[in-house]
Amino acid sequence: MMIIELLKAVFLGVVEGITEWLPISSTGHMILVEEFIQLNASPAFKEMFFVVIQLGAIMAVVLLYWRKLNPFSAGKTRWEKRETMEIWYKVIIGVIPAAVMGLLFDDWLNEHLYNYQTVAMMLIIYGVLFIIVENYNKNRLSRVNSFNDLTYTTAFLIGVFQVLSLIPGTSRSGATILGGILLGASRHIAAEYSFFLSIPVMFGASAVKLVKFGFEFSGMELTILLTGMIVAFVVSVIAIKFLLGYIKRNDFKAFGWYRIVLGLLVLGYFVFLG
């Protein structure tokens, strides 16, 4: 039984590591996967697990961007350290909208929107929006091509877009990347800023879930949680590198079509077979 539960945790870690960074909705995928692969654990543990597993994913960002995000690096000049602090200030500004709304409506969202209907509709809606935005953006020149170009106002507005990701099936990275592109950011800066925004958001969300759950884990629960986090970390490193390489040569339309097809399959499955 323990081996089976660990295999489930490994699979869920793979799903989290891939979908957290690609704009296809990690929460949406995790909700859908749970329909077929259910952990043999209490509802409270599963609710906590599907959020805290993201800590593994976020540590991939910390690793890959350690020098860029570390303002205390001995190898940086005073100017570089100042630039790093500017990035963090903009991240803090961008986090505020989602942090406020998440704290206010977390329980309501869990109760009313964590279902296949919401996930499927958000997959389809934002899939269509990705295609529309990329077509609109085809002949536009980006105004924000570095973090020095990213104003505090633009950073805050991208954070407003991040609020949309509180609805399961939307995708946090998808909402912030779409918002960044619409506000004039290059795909690369929009993606990196989305990564950086995820650091305080995921740490904060995980802290809230851990406090609600409590810190009294059984040996099996702790093993399952750590397994999922470690797998999510390893897969996230690969997924982030893939996405940054992909957007150098491609737009996000492929992800839009993927979302539409998946959303339709989900609706079809639950309506006709569920």
Condensed to tens digits (0 to 9), the pLDDT of residues 123-140 reads: 999 999 999 999 988 888
Mean pLDDT for all residues in the chain: 91
CB 156 within 8 A of CB 94: yes
Mean predicted confidence (pLDDT) in 70-95? 94
Compute φ and ψ for 185, nearest 5 degrees: -85, 150
CA–CA dist 147, 69 (Å, integer): 12
- The domain ranges of the chain are 2-273
How many Cα atoms occupy the beta-carbon half-sphere of 253 within 13 Å? Answer: 10
Residue 120 pLDDT greater than 70, yes or no: yes
Residue 274 pLDDT greater than 80, yes or no: no
CA–CA dist 138, 222 (Å, integer): 48
- Tens of pLDDT, residue by residue over 186-219, are 999 999 999 999 999 888 888 888 988 888 888 8
Distant-in-sequence, close-in-space partners of 187: CB < 8 Å, separation ≥ 6: 142, 177, 181, 247, 251, 252
pLDDT of residue 204: 86
- Tens of pLDDT, residue by residue over 33-81, are 877 888 998 989 998 998 899 999 999 999 999 999 999 988 899 999 9
pLDDT of residue 105: 87
Whether the pTM exceeds 0.75: the reply is yes
Residue 271 pLDDT greater than 90, yes or no: no
Compute φ and ψ for 167, nearest 5 degrees: -85, 120
Residue 1 pLDDT greater than 80, yes or no: no
pLDDT over 70 percentage in the chain:
99
Residue 31 pLDDT greater than 90, yes or no: no
CA–CA dist 175, 255 (Å, integer): 13
Q: Which two structure tokens, joined as six digits, stand for 43?
A: 């509802």
pLDDT of residue 128: 96
Mean predicted confidence (pLDDT) in 104-121? 86
CB 236 within 8 A of CB 21: yes
